[in-house]
Structure 1
Amino acid sequence: MAIALGHADQGRRLMEVLLLGTGAADGIPNLFCRCATCTDYRRRGELRTPTSVLVDGRLLVDPGPEAPRQVARLGRDLVGLAAILAGHAHDDHLDPAVLLHRSWVSQAPLDVVGPAPVIESSRPWLDPEQAAVTFTTVAAGQEFEVAGYRVTALPANHEAFGEALCYLIDDGASTLLYASDTGLLPEAAWALLEGRRADLVLLEETFGDRTEKGDHHLHLKTFAATVERLRSQGVVDATTRVVAVHLAHDNPPLAALRADLARCGAEALPDGTVIRL
């Protein structure tokens, strides 16, 4: 089912993906932990904040509570924001207060898109008269246009007060596969990815070496298996960049993590990294 939202931007030819954050809900280091990984990050002075992505300064994906400060710390703003896309309603992926704070200074049009729990959580933060903000509920399997991007909603293997989604985001020249949070993707997601190729894959890898913590997130083994299937299905090829996001302290220290990821052709990048496709 296709849904048209906003207006296409025909002039864009170079997608910019800004990794506002690359960590899990508690980030790295966890403030209550002195494990080897948290100690490694403190020693090096690196901080991973909850995963959030800004595409072309126009599309904000998974705006958690730290997203405004993530943007500010990188010297950016959200004045040109045209749409918010949230995969699910867990608070590290969606802080609807950003809509209230925006309403104090802007009445520019804004599309807020996500599964039903996202929209239900977001609406109360704005007066019904706030016509500048349009809320749209989407479900797995739907294709829609928002802010000049064609987006395919993929089912995630995750639970967040109801449906959770991953997204394939295409600007006509480049394609981003954003897959966080999810365990091993459902077969319905693989069917929707058939015949599609991505220039960049942002794939969650939460549990590191811990294989006993459930199947709603990936660990290093299921991450590698997912990358391999993406490659065998043609979604990932020799020119696709695969970046691990939603990293938690169950992962090994950074040097060891990078070696583990390199074995399946993936990488770990710091918060604030800009990727141009």
Structure 2
Amino acid sequence: MEIVLLGTGAADGWPNPFCRCDSCSDALRRGDVRGQTAALVDDEVLIDCGPEVPGAACRHARTLAGVRHLLLTHAHSDHLGPQFLLSRSWVSGACDLEVIGPAGALEACRPWVGAGDPVRFLPVVAGDRISVGGYDVRVLPAGHRVFDDGDAVLYDVTGPDGRRVLWATDTGPWPAGWFAAVRDAAYDAVFLEETLGDREEISDAHLGLGRFGEMVGTLRSVGAITDRTEVVAVHLGHHNPPFDRLVPRLREHGARPGVDGEVVNCGPPRHARARQTS
């Protein structure tokens, strides 16, 4: 499973263009500009599509022409810019597109789809398990909301070769009972939000460094994260310390920051692992 991080920043990106804090000034000086968090899986599945994402795909030399499935986590504007459906409709012979997500996010998309556009909508809620092309997708709850509880979700995606990833943004801390859904998942990669840095008092609907570490620790304790799991922090915002101080603090939890445009290739297929260890 090839995962391209089309963006790794929070809603306002990082740096925030209106801010002169040390974190933003450092990022700007280094030219480390992060866009809205989204991912492209095997050129076929897109996870979230904020208004910056189509342009980011082009800047990273990627096409979205082969995307047949869009997984939406929720309808906040950095995760969903439905106008992409209009520009997509201007392309002759565009492939069928399945848009999957909470009902509220799908409703935001419908006005942008023209009559006859090959777009199908599939509403989901936490607890659903669906086939998305060749992928097995489990829908998980998020400690986050747009207007109502349950209108934001996370995704547990297993590819055709058995590689499995957790896409976990946006979310605040999980209640203890939610971890049962990922027990013994042994993910190949976990993409976990870390928006707030040292300012966790700002919001209960996101993770900062403290709660990020706690969640990673609990995921380890239930077997969702193992020694083989690559843990990548995404949805990074300017409340984090400057990058050179952020890296070691994430490393304390066995994690690293994601980078816009990077390609994450999960480990060998699980059947290959079985052969290697037998």
Q: Which residue of 1 aligns with 2:157?
A: 169
Shift of 1:129: 3.2
Give TM-score, length-normalised by structure 1.
0.92
Q: 1:89, 1:161 within 8 Å by CA — same for their partners in 2?
A: no
Contact 2:168 2:191 in 1 (8 A): yes
Question: Partners of 1:31 and 1:153 in 2: how far apart?
Answer: 34
User: 1: distance between equivalents of 2:248 and 2:94?
Assistant: 47
Structure 1 residue 188 displacement after superposition:
4.9
Cross-structure match for 2:208: 219
User: CA-to-partner distance for each residue in 1:141-186, whole Å, 9 max, x for gaps?
Assistant: 0000112111010010001133100100001421110000000124
Distance 1:42 1:80 in 2: 33
Contact residue 155 and residue 188 of structure 1 kept, 8 A? no
Amino acid at match of 1:159: R
Tell me how far apart the structure 1 counterparts of residues 234 and 169 of structure 2 sit (CA, whole Å): 8
Instruction: Provide the residue aligned with 2:263 in structure 1.
Output: 274
Q: Which runs of 5+ in 2 are unaligned?
A: 267-278
- Where does residue 85 of structure 1 map in the other structure? 71
Q: Which residue does 1:29 correspond to in 2?
A: 15
Q: 2 CA distance for matches of 1:225 and 1:34?
A: 30
Which SS does the other structure have where 1:223 is aligned?
helix
Q: Secondary structure at the match of 1:212?
A: helix
> What is the distance in 2 between the residues matched to 1:166 and 1:224?
18
Divergent runs of 4+, >4 A: none
Q: Give the conservation status (yes or no) of the 8 Å contact 1:96–1:121.
A: yes
**How many residues are paired up?**
262
Preserved contact between residue 22 and residue 271 of structure 1 (Cα < 8 Å): yes
Percent identity between the two aligned chains: 46
Match of 2:48 among 46, 53, 62: 62
The separation in 2 between residues aligned to 1:97 and 1:252, in whole angstroms, is 34
RMSD (Å), alpha carbons: 1.1
State the alpha-carbon separation in 1 of the partners of residues 95 and 172 from structure 2. Answer: 37
Q: CA deviation at 1:192?
A: 1.4
**CA distances 1:21-51 after superposition (whole Å, capped 9, x unpaired):** 0000101111111111101111111101110
Work out which structure has the larger RCO, using CA pairs closer than 8 Å and 6 or more positions apart in sequence.
1
TM-score (norm 2): 0.92
Q: Is 2:108 the counterpart of 1:121?
A: yes
Letter in 2 for 1:123: R
Deviation at 1:118, TM superposition (A): 0.9
Give 5+ residue unaligned stretches, structure 1.
1-14
1:98 is aligned, of 81, 84, 87, to 84
For residues 256 and 273 of structure 1, the distance between their equivalents in structure 2, rounded to whole angstroms, comes to: 21
Give 1:189 shift.
Answer: 3.1
